[in-house]
Amino acid sequence: MAEEHGAEHGPLDQFEIHRLIELEAFGVDVSFTNSALWMVLNVAAITVFLTLTMRGRAIVPGRWQSLAELSYTLIAGTVKDSIGQEGRRYFPFIFSLFMFVLFANYMGLLPRAFTPTSHIIITFFMSGLIFVGVTLLAIFKHGFKFFGFFFPPGVPVYLAPLIIPIEIISYLTRPVSHSVRLAANMLAGHVMLEVLAGFVVALGIFGFAPFILVIGIFALEIIVAALQAYVFAILTAIYLSDAIHLHH
Amino acid sequence: MADQKPAKPDHPKTQPADLQELGKNLRRARGKTDPETPAPGRINSREMSMAFRVMTELAAAIFVGGLLGWYLDKWLDTTPWLLMVFLILGMASGTLTAFRTAKRLSDESDE
């Protein structure tokens, strides 16, 4: 990695993509990269975590089982609160998203790990897919009435030329802010950790000061990782709810 | 979590005595800690994430507005007028989105 282009180990090296298995399909580079490897590990870890912890199905859960139940009830409650009863059928989708982002964020905190969610292309793919899916769902469910979403009731008609572009931009902003927020949070946290860790080595005996800071920021990162996964899931639920109920 | 009710008081006889005792202890322990008062002077990560959420919405709308204006300009050959118009519309829509998010967040915390 860093050794290949000089002794310098930069704080951005951790985000580099490497091809592990070179593949090409129809002229498109579909190589198996480290990003893909960590996503596969991520899905495997989620599967192992959820199946092993829920194997006992004890009435009084142990530590592991309550971890799994905690994440389940958190998302189930969120979906129920923001979508309502119709939201139940979307629960598997939102729960999978939440677990994927959560595990990607947490596994990225391991030493030498790669964080797929720190790449905007990964998060933008997810949010873009949600955006397209939610829009199609709204059109299928409400037909032409969907376009009334861009002109809220109670607004004077002569304001339409102003309100409609604003509402359309606001709607198109969703996938951008949805994806940028997650990627920027993960990117910023990881860069900050690496830069400060570099100071620990560079400052020698005085390195203890940034070292304490690194511990603090790592603790903050643990919170941010869970929080951002939750925010990603809750926003998906809110967008779904807007599509189902057609109001802001 | 919040809707977990304490043991129903209308069926006290169906429960063993030690479960009732446990319930009493649980309620007492829950009453002691008040989760709604954060320690002063500490960074509240929840509030920070809310602020960040509103901020990204504000910035993203301007970006989307600018991008839309840029491409419409290229398409209709009207550089730079639509870019200017859509940048302003983007700012307006960013404010609108941020306002809606802030309103939703404050409605949630009121409940």
Q: Domain tally for chain B? A: 1
- pLDDT above 90: residue B15: no
Q: Please name the residues in contact with A220: beta carbons below 8 A apart, sequence gap of 6 or more.
A: A189, B43, B45
| pLDDT, tens only, A97-115 | 999 999 999 999 988 888 9
Predicted confidence band at A7 (pLDDT cuts at 50, 70, 90)? very low
**3-state SS assignment for residue A21:** strand
| pLDDT, tens only, B83-95 | 999 999 999 999 9
| pLDDT, tens only, A115-161 | 999 999 999 999 999 999 999 999 999 888 888 888 888 888 888 88
- pLDDT above 60: residue B37: no
Mean pLDDT, range A37-45, rounded to an integer: 93
Q: What is the pLDDT of residue B111?
A: 62
From B111, which residue of chain A is nearest by alpha-carbon distance?
Answer: A81
Q: What is the pLDDT of residue A17?
A: 83
Is residue B21 in some structural domain? no
Q: What is the pLDDT of residue A4?
A: 45
Q: What is the pLDDT of residue A153?
A: 80
Least confident of A8-17, B1-10, B84-93: B1-10
| pLDDT, tens only, A232-243 | 999 999 999 989
Option in A73, A173, A238 nearest B57 (CB): A173
Average pLDDT, chain B: 77
- pLDDT above 70: residue A25: yes
Option in A169, A185, A223 nearest B68 (CB): A169
Predicted confidence band at A1 (pLDDT cuts at 50, 70, 90)? very low
Is residue B17 in some structural domain? no
Predicted confidence band at A83 (pLDDT cuts at 50, 70, 90)? confident
Q: What is the DSSP letter of A230?
A: H
The b/e string for A185-207 (b: 16+ C-beta within 10 A; e otherwise) is bbbebbbbbbebbeebeeeeeeb
The span from the CA of B85 to the CA of B79, in Å, is 11
Packing angle of the helix pair A160-202, A120-142 (nearest 10 deg): 150
- Beta strands at A24-25 and A19-21: parallel, antiparallel or unpaired: unpaired
Option in A169, A231, A248 nearest B90 (CB): A169
The span from the CA of B61 to the CA of A157, in Å, is 24
- pLDDT above 90: residue A46: yes
Is residue B84 in some structural domain? yes
The pLDDT > 70 percentage for chain B reads 69
Cβ atoms of residues A214 and A190 within 8 Å: no
CB contact under 8 A, A176 and B60: yes
The span from the CA of B47 to the CA of B53, in Å, is 10
A17: left (phi over 0), alpha (psi -120 to 50) or beta: beta
Cβ atoms of residues B65 and B90 within 8 Å: yes
Mean pLDDT, range B41-56, rounded to an integer: 74
- Other CB atoms closer than 10 Å to residue A166's CB: what's the count? 23
Is residue B100 in some structural domain? yes
What's the Cα-to-Cα distance from A188 to each of A66, A137, A191, B81, rounded to whole Å? 31, 34, 5, 35
Cβ atoms of residues B86 and A173 within 8 Å: no
CB contact under 8 A, A73 and B1: yes
Cβ atoms of residues A200 and A214 within 8 Å: yes
Distance to chain A for B54, nearest Cα, Å: 9
Q: What is the pLDDT of residue B44?
A: 66
Is residue B70 in some structural domain? yes
Least confident of A96-110, A187-201, B30-44: B30-44
Hey, of A177, A179, A230, A234, which one would you mutate to test binding to chain B, going by the most B CBs within 10 A of its CB? Answer: A177
**3-state SS assignment for residue B9:** coil
Q: Taking chain A, what is the end-to-end CA distance rounded to the nearest angstrom?
A: 48
| A247: nearest Cα among B27, B74, B61, B100 | B100
| Partner B, chain A 206-245, Cβ-Cβ below 8 Å | 220, 223-224, 227-228, 231, 238
Q: What is the pLDDT of residue B13?
A: 52
| A243: nearest Cα among A121, A136, A84, A93 | A136
| A130: nearest Cα among A97, A105, A102, A99 | A97
Average pLDDT, chain A: 87
Cβ atoms of residues A196 and A182 within 8 Å: no
The span from the CA of A201 to the CA of B97, in Å, is 44
Is residue B95 in some structural domain? yes
Q: For A63-86, give the DSSP string.
A: HHHHHHHHHHHHHHHHHHHHT-GG
Q: Which domain holds residue B63?
A: 45-110
Chain A residues in contact with B57 by the CB 8 A cut-off are: 173, 177
Place of tokens 């491409």: B71
Q: What is the pLDDT of residue B22?
A: 83
Is residue B13 in some structural domain? no
Q: What is the pLDDT of residue B1?
A: 46
The span from the CA of B26 to the CA of B35, in Å, is 15
CB contact under 8 A, B60 and A166: no
- pLDDT above 60: residue B96: yes
Q: Does A77 touch chain B (CB under 8 A)?
A: yes
What residue type is assigned to position A58 of the chain? A
Q: What is the pLDDT of residue A144?
A: 83
